[in-house]
């Protein structure tokens, strides 16, 4: 028996392998976002496009305009119509087009067009991949699976991107090869995922929603995922929950209308938007996207120091994701979020105090401490609000509205990111070292909000999540209706039998009376 068989029980092995392969899709997203950090610090790129703070902010943030559109419409619709896997494949192909448009010799306007195309695919990948893994993962591991997919995959991509950018930063040519090659290297990652995805099963929950008249399709895929036979207890019990929940939900309106028609779903949508906004509310994107520029501004600007520091941080952030993987389904979503925002707030308080006290970066010890605080913020994010936000937002909605509700919820992420990241270069240029006080106050606000607002969702199956938010447990309700129908059928049958028996007795009495006469 190998190490994998010793670590993972039989029922979960195929799901784990599925997760590890799907990580490539989010790694592609991570690379695309991470390589921008190196590109906007490349002097040839800056000279070629005449980059100033306004253009730098636009280049970094403009993909989120189309990403938001994908969150709201294209991602949910394609994931619903085509299935999770085909939506993923199509999205990565869209990103290929965007990358090619960016690297060919062009004007700044064409570069922005390429970024917009890439952002469109980015949003579809994010929606489809998180839905896919959330629906395929075992209930007891769902938090760690979604967190690992969204954060480990993303960090793996950024790690490759940062070190690629660092290596290419030493290469100079009149054709701007460094930043162009750095951008193109992400394409093989997407190609590998598309290839292996054809050996993966579609989400059984999506199959049941899409083909309710053919439940055997969903049962077959579920049995494969759980590494068992359709008749095995663990497979049959889970499939019963899927079917019972769907049968009960048939009375509800699906899609966008279903979200806004039902008061309970409108309230739950606010929870989803809140959860997703937490991911970027603390300003992590501003710190990450402009990390190299921030390190340079703190005095680490000799040679490739800033890029190297960023690369080291990316390695540590990749490893720290495992803290989330092993704790989120044990200690819960709330516990990790509260811990994360507490640590980030403390680190940003120290950072803000140091940058305010030493605005000219003339104290080497203070500069080292400032970098350490930025490391702590980034590392904490990777086990708390980074992976937990999509975990919560993918698990709290019922199947008939899940894609679209998750997409709308993700707008909270995009809005928080755009609001903080786009103006950040201009804001820091005007405010200077005191700008980090804003991030400190935002993290403190998030900490208080999580404590008072967010419910715990660990250990609850997707089909029974309704009860957490004060609604009807769809599975229990369906089972109760089934029992009621059985009792009603039994009473009707019993009554009919009695009627037949009485009629038979009356008939027999009449026959006896006739014979006596």
Burial bucket for residue 207 (CB in 10 Å: 0-12, 13-18, 19+): buried
DSSP structure string for 426-482: HHHHHHGGGGHHHHHHHHHHHHHHHHHHPPP-TT--GGGGGGGGTS--HHHHHHHHH
Looking at the structure, tell me whether residues 413 and 496 fall in a common domain: no
Looking at the structure, tell me whether residues 369 and 500 fall in a common domain: no
Looking at the structure, tell me whether residues 329 and 414 fall in a common domain: yes
Looking at the structure, tell me whether residues 512 and 377 fall in a common domain: no
Any idea what the CATH number is for the domain that residue 36 is in? 1.20.1250.20
In a domain, 411, yes or no: yes
Residue 287 is part of which domain span?
A: 14-201+245-472
Give pLDDT, residue 501: 67
Looking at the structure, tell me whether residues 441 and 512 fall in a common domain: no
Give pLDDT, residue 23: 96
Contact (Cβ atoms closer than 8 angstroms) between residue 386 and residue 325: no
Q: Where are the alpha helices (DSSP H) in 104-172?
A: 108-136, 142-147, 153-168
How far is the C-alpha of 166 from the C-alpha of 310, rounded, in Å? 9
Looking at the structure, tell me whether residues 295 and 431 fall in a common domain: yes
In a domain, 235, yes or no: no
Give pLDDT, residue 490: 63
Query: Total structural domains in the chain?
Result: 2
How far is the C-alpha of 150 from the C-alpha of 155, rounded, in Å? 9
Q: Hey, what long-range contacts does 189-193 have (CB within 8 A, 24 or more apart)?
A: 189/24, 189/27, 189/28, 189/31, 189/157, 189/160, 190/24, 190/25, 190/28, 190/92, 190/93, 190/95, 190/96, 192/24, 193/21, 193/22, 193/24, 193/25, 193/28, 193/88, 193/92
Phi and psi at residue 107, in whole multiples of 5°?
A: -90, 170
Q: Which two tokens stand for residue 334?
A: 């709330």
Looking at the structure, tell me whether residues 440 and 500 fall in a common domain: no
Q: Which two tokens stand for residue 314?
A: 């990316």
Q: For residues 256-286, b (16+ Cβ closer than 10 Å) or e, as one string?
A: bebbeebeebeebbebbbbbbbbbbbbbbbb
How far is the C-alpha of 448 from the C-alpha of 453, rounded, in Å? 9
Q: What is the pLDDT along the chain (517 residues), one digit of tens a residue?
A: 577 777 888 899 999 999 999 999 999 999 988 888 788 878 888 888 888 878 887 887 888 889 999 999 999 999 999 999 999 999 999 999 999 999 987 889 999 999 999 999 999 999 999 999 999 999 899 999 999 999 999 999 989 988 888 888 777 777 788 888 999 999 999 999 999 999 999 999 999 999 989 999 999 999 999 999 999 999 999 999 898 888 888 877 888 888 888 888 898 999 999 999 999 888 887 777 666 667 777 676 665 677 777 778 888 989 999 999 999 999 999 999 999 999 999 999 999 999 889 887 778 788 888 888 888 999 999 999 999 999 999 999 988 889 999 999 999 998 888 888 778 878 888 888 888 899 999 999 999 999 999 999 898 888 888 888 877 776 777 677 666 666 655 655 665 566 556 656 555 566 566 556 5
How far is the C-alpha of 378 from the C-alpha of 288, rounded, in Å? 8
In a domain, 479, yes or no: no
CA 394 centroid distance within chain:
7
Looking at the structure, tell me whether residues 265 and 352 fall in a common domain: yes
Give pLDDT, residue 288: 73
Looking at the structure, tell me whether residues 70 and 135 fall in a common domain: yes
Contact (Cβ atoms closer than 8 angstroms) between residue 122 and residue 36: no
Looking at the structure, tell me whether residues 371 and 258 fall in a common domain: yes
In a domain, 191, yes or no: yes
Nearest partner of 354 among 448, 243, 463, 435, judged by Cα: 435
How far is the C-alpha of 52 from the C-alpha of 42, rounded, in Å? 13
CA distances (Å), 269 to each of 176, 328, 392, 404, 412, in order? 46, 22, 11, 10, 11
How far is the C-alpha of 322 from the C-alpha of 343, rounded, in Å? 17
Element (H or E) spanning 139, and its range? none
Taking residue 230's Cβ as centre, other Cβ atoms within 10 Å add up to: 14
In a domain, 160, yes or no: yes
In a domain, 326, yes or no: yes
Nearest partner of 146 among 356, 514, 402, 377, judged by Cα: 402
Q: What single DSSP character describes residue 203?
A: P
In a domain, 3, yes or no: no
Looking at the structure, tell me whether residues 129 and 49 fall in a common domain: yes
Q: For residues 209-222, b (16+ Cβ closer than 10 Å) or e, as one string?
A: bbeeeebebbbebb
Looking at the structure, tell me whether residues 91 and 64 fall in a common domain: yes
In a domain, 151, yes or no: yes
Residues whose CB falls within 8 Å of the CB of residue 26, separated by 6 or more in sequence, listed in order: 125, 126, 129, 149, 150, 152, 153, 154, 157
Contact (Cβ atoms closer than 8 angstroms) between residue 30 and residue 158: yes
Contact (Cβ atoms closer than 8 angstroms) between residue 386 and residue 276: no
Written in H, E and C, the secondary structure of 365-388 is HHHHHHHHHHHHHHHHHCCCHHHH
């Amino acid at each position: 028996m190998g190490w994998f068989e010793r670590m993972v029980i039989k029922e979960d092995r195929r799901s784990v392998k599925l997760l590890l392969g799907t990580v490539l899709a989010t790694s592609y997203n991570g690379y695309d976002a991470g390589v921008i950090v190196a590109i906007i610090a490349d002097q040839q790129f800056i000279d070629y496009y005449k980059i100033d703070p306004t253009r730098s902010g636009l280049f970094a943030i403009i993909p989120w305009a189309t990403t938001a559109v994908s969150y709201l419409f294209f991602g949910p619709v394609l994931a619903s119509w085509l299935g999770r896997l085909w939506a993923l494949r199509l999205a990565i192909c869209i990103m290929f087009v965007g990358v090619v448009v960016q690297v060919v010799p062009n004007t700044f306007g064409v570069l922005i067009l390429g970024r917009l195309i890439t952002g469109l695919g980015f949003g579809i990948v994010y929606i489809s991949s998180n839905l896919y893994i959330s629906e395929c993962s075992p209930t007891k591991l769902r938090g760690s699976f979604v967190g690992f997919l969204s954060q480990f995959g993303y960090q793996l991509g950024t790690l490759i991107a940062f070190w690629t950018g660092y290596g290419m930063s030493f290469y100079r040519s009149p054709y701007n090869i460094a930043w162009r090659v750095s951008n193109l290297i992400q394409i093989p990652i997407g190609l590998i995922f598309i290839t292996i995805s054809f050996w993966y099963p579609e989400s059984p929950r999506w199959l049941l929603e899409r083909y309710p008249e053919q439940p055997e399709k969903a049962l077959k895929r579920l049995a494969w995922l759980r590494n068992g036979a359709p008749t095995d207890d663990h497979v049959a019990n889970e499939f019963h929950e899927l079917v019972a929940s769907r049968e009960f939900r048939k009375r509800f309106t699906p899609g966008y209308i279903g979200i806004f028609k039902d008061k309970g779903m409108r309230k739950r949508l606010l929870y989803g938007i809140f959860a997703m906004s937490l991911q970027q509310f603390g300003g992590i994107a501003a710190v990450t996207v402009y990390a190299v520029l921030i390190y340079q501004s703190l005095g680490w600007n000799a040679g490739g120091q800033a890029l190297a520091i960023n690369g080291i941080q990316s390695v540590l952030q990749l490893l720290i994701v495992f803290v989330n993987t092993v704790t989120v389904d044990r200690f819960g979503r709330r516990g990790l979020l509260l811990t994360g925002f507490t640590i980030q707030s403390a680190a940003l308080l120290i950072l803000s105090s140091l940058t305010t006290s030493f605005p000219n970066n003339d104290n080497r010890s203070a500069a080292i401490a400032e970098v350490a605080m930025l490391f702590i913020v980034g590392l904490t994010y990777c086990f708390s609000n980074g992976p937990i936000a999509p975990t919560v937002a993918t698990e709290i909605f019922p199947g008939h509205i899940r894609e679209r509700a998750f997409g709308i919820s993700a707008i909270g992420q995009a809005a928080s990111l755009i609001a903080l990241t786009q103006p950040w270069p201009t804001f820091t240029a005007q405010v200077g070292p005191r700008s980090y006080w804003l991030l400190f106050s935002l993290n403190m606000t998030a900490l208080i909000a999580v404590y008072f607002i967010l419910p715990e969702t660990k250990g609850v199956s997707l089909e029974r999540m309704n009860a957490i938010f004060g609604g009807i447990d769809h599975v229990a309700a369906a089972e109760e209706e089934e029992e009621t129908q059985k009792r009603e059928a039994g009473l009707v049958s019993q009554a009919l039998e009695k009627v037949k028996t009485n009629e038979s007795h009356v008939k027999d009495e009449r026959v006896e009376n006739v014979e006596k006469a």
